[in-house]
């Protein structure tokens, strides 16, 4: 592979909240290059509606935020990581406000709302339902004035460079010219987001294809908790349009879920009704859909005033109106959609992976703060807190390591002699998304997972060397992530949080508190030697 060779002190792959926050820190320590697939707005952070959870209101404190996070995560959260999240979160938000982020206020004070599984009103919002875009805007504006920051938009990360067990850069594809670039760096930060696009129904933008997770896996990084995929309970259901996220804040402000018999059904599933944790609400909706033989349920906010809805949820109101749904007068058809990956590249409290030189933050990472089910609106806070922590650790690492001056031989790949056509790739991609939705989705069984695994393995062999274009490379990554999710879901023979096995609906027993791990050297079995040791000791 012939490629232009570039050098930088720090390479950041991804440009959401975690990526931008890490860039602001690393620019204090050297030259920073950001590689971003698509443009500045093509990331999950930008589309985050609901808000950012932080213990800043008078009725709240970090201990309550900690407790709610652990409880929502079904006690599979890392307590040290969760402590870091809730304790450092307020400082990161104050910092963001100082940099110009404009959060909504009431009478000059920050306005907080309540969402499912939160015991207090602690969710800050901006523009009503445009929190992510405002945070990206504020961070981006701060980054634009930095002279030692280079932005490479429309560049796609292909592979991480590894030399002597050390991550020292990456090979990227220039989407506009079709040429390759090798970027050497003292440290690499992977902040590429999640992989919602492996599912037929997802709230994620089209570029959320798990690229960073797949790259890290191929390079030898450990993935953890890949079976835990959060399905958002309420996305707009219209047969002729893609799913559109309807923020949990709609239920926080009093929205009611009804089935097609007009019944308010959540009281049958949880005492907190519409404000139960997301995994419970999603499965309740699914159960009602099966019971009533319907493709969706309804979210009713017609009892709220039109003026309030327009001001509080301007994006949702206008988007639904484009589809001829006036949410102040009509119930909104909704169904669950794949939304967030609790699993990802395993990291420590400073964003470090098991590969020296590779640091990961945001949705691509498994920092441990989400456990088996993410507490709503904790993700943007995680991006800020651990984006900074990963950057600080990367800066410390760079003092002890200098990147190579030539490309490691291990990454000189050849193009496939027998390339798949664009049509074949697109057909495989669509089949993959349907397979994951039906076999590895909200409700799973051993039989469905085994069938999915066999098909995914066939596709993986077919795509060992994909066409070297964005579509081919993305599809390879999607298959890889799908394999890891399926393997981990087969391994976890119980139901907990977002992982629900219909054939094993109980949560206790073997593997209850053990975390699944996938690593290339041990694949296809995600169970590490450490896990096997735990099982022998009876740590269940």
**Helix, strand, coil proportions of the chain in percent (round to 5)?**
40, 20, 45
How much is the pLDDT for 530? 35
φ/ψ (deg, to 5) at 512? -60, -50
Q: Cis peptide before 524, with omega less than 30 degrees from 0? A: yes
Mean pLDDT of 283-292: 95
The sign of the dihedral angle between the CA atoms of 247, 245, 93, 142 is negative
Domain boundaries, the chain: 231-338, 413-537
How much is the pLDDT for 76? 94
Q: Which residues are catalytic?
A: 278
Report the percentage of the chain scoring pLDDT > 70.
91
> Range with the lowest mean pLDDT among 8-22, 81-95, 230-244, 363-377?
230-244
- Collect all residues with Cβ–Cβ distance below 8 Å to 235 and sequence separation of at least 6: 201, 203, 243, 244, 245, 246, 334, 335, 336, 337, 339
* pTM score: 0.92
Closest to 302 in 3D by CA, of 326, 272, 318? 326
Q: Which residue has the higher pLDDT, 51 or 3?
A: 51
Counted residue by residue, the chain has a size of 540
pLDDT score of 527 more than 60: no
Please state which CATH class domain 413-537 belongs to.
mainly alpha
As given in the structure block, the two tokens for residue 207 are: 């570029």
- Fold matches, 231-338 and 413-537: no
How many Å apart are CA 125 and CA 112, to the nearest integer?
7
pLDDT in tens, 195-231: 999 999 999 999 999 999 999 999 999 999 999 999 9
- Give bridge partners of residue 345 from the DSSP assignment: 223, 365
How many Å apart are CA 474 and CA 422, to the nearest integer?
12
Q: What is the mean pLDDT of the chain?
A: 90
pLDDT score of 44 more than 90: no
pLDDT score of 411 more than 90: no
- Residue 46's pLDDT band, with cuts at 50, 70 and 90, is low
How much is the pLDDT for 523? 43
Q: Are 50 and 115 in contact (CB under 8 A)?
A: yes
231-338 is classed CATH 3.90.700.10: yes
H-helix or E-strand containing 198?
Answer: none
């Amino acid at each position: 592979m012939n490629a232009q060779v570039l050098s930088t002190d720090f390479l950041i792959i991804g440009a959401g909240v975690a990526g931008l926050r890490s860039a602001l820190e690393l620019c204090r320590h050297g030259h920073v290059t950001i590689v971003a697939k698509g443009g500045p707005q093509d990331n999950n952070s930008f589309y985050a509606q609901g808000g950012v959870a932080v213990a800043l209101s008078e009725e709240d404190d970090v201990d309550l935020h900690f407790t709610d996070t652990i409880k929502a995560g079904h006690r599979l959260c890392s307590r040290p990581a969760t402590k870091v999240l809730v304790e450092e979160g307020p400082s990161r938000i104050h910092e963001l406000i100082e940099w110009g982020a404009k959060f909504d206020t009431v009478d000059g004070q920050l306005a907080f709302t309540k969402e499912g599984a939160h015991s207090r009103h602690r969710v800050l919002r901006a523009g009503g339902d445009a929190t992510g875009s405002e945070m990206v805007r504020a961070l981006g504006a701060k980054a634009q004035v930095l002279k030692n920051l280079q932005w490479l938009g429309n560049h796609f990360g292909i592979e991480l460079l590894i030399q002597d067990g050390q991550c020292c850069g990456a090979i990227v594809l220039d989407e506009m010219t079709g040429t390759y670039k090798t970027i050497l760096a003292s440290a690499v930060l992977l902040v590429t987001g999640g992989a919602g696009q492996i599912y037929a129904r997802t709230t994620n933008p089209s570029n959320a294809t798990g690229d960073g997770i797949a790259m890290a896996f191929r390079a030898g990084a450990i993935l953890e908790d890949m079976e835990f995929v959060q399905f958002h309970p309420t996305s707009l259901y219209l047969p002729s349009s893609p799913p559109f996220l309807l923020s949990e804040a709609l239920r926080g402000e009093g929205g009611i879920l009804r089935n097609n018999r007009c019944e308010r059904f959540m009281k049958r599933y949880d005492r907190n009704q519409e404000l139960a944790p997301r995994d419970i609400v999603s499965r309740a909706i699914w159960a009602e859909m099966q019971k009533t033989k319907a493709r969706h349920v309804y979210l009713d906010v017609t009892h709220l005033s039109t003026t309030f809805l327009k001001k509080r949820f301007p994006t949702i109101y206008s988007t639904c109106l484009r589809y001829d749904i006036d949410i102040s007068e009509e119930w909104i058809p909704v169904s669950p959609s794949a939304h967030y990956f609790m699993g990802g590249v395993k990291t420590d409290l400073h964003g470090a992976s098991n590969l020296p030189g590779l640091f990961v933050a945001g949705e691509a990472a498994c920092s441990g703060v989400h456990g088996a089910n993410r507490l709503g609106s904790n993700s943007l806070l995680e991006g800020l807190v651990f984006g900074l922590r990963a950057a600080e650790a990367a800066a410390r690492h760079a003092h002890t390591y200098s990147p190579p001056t030539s490309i490691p031989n291990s990454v000189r790949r050849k193009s496939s002699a027998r390339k798949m056509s664009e049509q074949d790739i697109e057909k495989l991609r669509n089949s993959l998304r349907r397979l994951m939705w039906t076999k590895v989705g909200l409700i799973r069984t051993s039989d469905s997972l085994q069938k999915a695994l066999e098909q995914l393995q066939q596709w993986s062999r077919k795509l060992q060397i994909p066409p070297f274009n964005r579509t081919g490379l993305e599809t390879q990554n999607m298959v890889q992530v799908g394999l890891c999710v399926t393997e981990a879901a087969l391994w976890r023979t119980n139901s907990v949080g977002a992982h629900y096995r219909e054939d094993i609906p109980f949560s206790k027993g073997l593997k209850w508190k053990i975390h699944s791990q996938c690593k290339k050297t041990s694949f296809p079995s995600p169970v590490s030697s450490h896990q096997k040791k735990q099982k022998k000791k009876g740590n269940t």
